[in-house]
């Protein structure tokens, strides 16, 4: 089957959403059009096919499953939410993908991995006061683990500068950047609209 981005997006639409999302963890499904865009960028740059892919804060593993669709050798997902990992373990088993995946329960900040080719992630944006700056913590961890990192962050001019500074500190540079609209479905009790649309920056960062 010839793979293109549209087929990837349609495939991602069929992957699991959160059953009981936890607001304090800022759990939102990555929209399939956003997930397909960042995955496709990694794919055309040679950072997915036959590679070991790590998804930090994996949630429902949409990015990891998409990487498998694009020919990744193996995916590793780590999350602090045991419930969502247990749910995804069953889903992977039922879809005969468990042999291609490793799920790890733990805090991203306290975890170490080896032989990782590429990290692709949608970290918490740090909107909640208790989570301020957590997306940059995720970014620093990712840059310490792999040569190629594809990530997304809530748009702000300050974030642009900070991400480049962090990349430079890890002897890396931004090779891809795009600002897109990120639709968030009505998920929590305080939500009053069916769809919230925010601006998000996608980044590809590679070791120099």
User: Structural domain boundaries of the chain?
Assistant: 29-207
* Higher per-residue confidence, 1 vs 9: 9
* Higher per-residue confidence, 1 vs 20: 20
N- to C-terminal Cα separation, the chain: 34
According to DSSP, the β-strands at 101-105 and 74-79 are: parallel
Q: Which two tokens stand for residue 177?
A: 């950047």
Separation between Cα atoms, residue 11 and residue 167, nearest integer Å: 32
> What is the tens place of the pLDDT at every residue in 42-82?
999 999 999 999 999 999 999 999 999 999 999 999 999 99
Question: Going by C-beta distance under 8 Å and a sequence separation of 6 or more, which residues neighbour residue 21?
Answer: 27, 28, 187, 188
Query: Is the pLDDT reported for residue 103 higher than 90?
Result: yes
Q: Which two tokens stand for residue 23?
A: 């607001």
* Confidence at residue 127, expressed as pLDDT on a 0 to 100 scale: 65
Q: Which two tokens stand for residue 123?
A: 């970290």
- For residue 29, what is the DSSP state? P
Separation between Cα atoms, residue 145 and residue 168, nearest integer Å: 15
If you average pLDDT over residues 142-169, what whole number do you get?
93
Buried b / exposed e over 142-175, threshold 16 CB at 10 Å, is bbebbebbbbbbebeeebbebbbebbeebebebe
* Confidence at residue 184, expressed as pLDDT on a 0 to 100 scale: 75
* Confidence at residue 126, expressed as pLDDT on a 0 to 100 scale: 65
Separation between Cα atoms, residue 27 and residue 99, nearest integer Å: 26
H/E segment holding residue 154:
strand 148-154
CATH superfamily, domain at 29-207: Vaccinia Virus protein VP39 (3.40.50.150)
By the 8 A CB rule, do 71 and 100 touch? no
């Amino acid at each position: 089957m010839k793979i293109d981005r549209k087929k990837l997006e349609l495939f991602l639409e069929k992957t699991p959403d959160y059953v009981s999302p936890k607001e304090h963890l800022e759990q939102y499904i990555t929209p399939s059009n956003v997930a397909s865009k960042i995955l496709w960028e990694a794919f055309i740059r040679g950072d997915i096919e036959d590679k070991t892919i790590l998804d930090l804060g994996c949630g429902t593993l949409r990015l990891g499953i998409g990487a498998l669709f694009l020919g990744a050798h193996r995916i590793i997902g780590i999350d602090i939410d045991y419930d969502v990992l247990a749910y995804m373990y069953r889903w992977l088993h039922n879809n005969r993908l468990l042999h291609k995946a490793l799920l790890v329960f733990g805090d991203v900040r306290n975890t170490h991995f080896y032989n990782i080719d590429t990290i692709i992630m949608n970290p918490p944006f740090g909107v909640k006061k208790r989570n301020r700056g957590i997306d940059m913590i995720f970014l620093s961890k990712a840059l310490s683990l792999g040569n190629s990192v594809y990530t997304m962050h809530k748009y702000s001019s300050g974030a642009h500068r900070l991400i480049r500074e962090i990349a430079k500190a890890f002897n890396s540079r931004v090779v891809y950047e795009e600002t897109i609209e990120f639709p968030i479905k009505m998920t929590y009790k305080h939500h009053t609209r069916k769809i919230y649309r925010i601006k998000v920056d996608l980044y590809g960062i590679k070791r120099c």
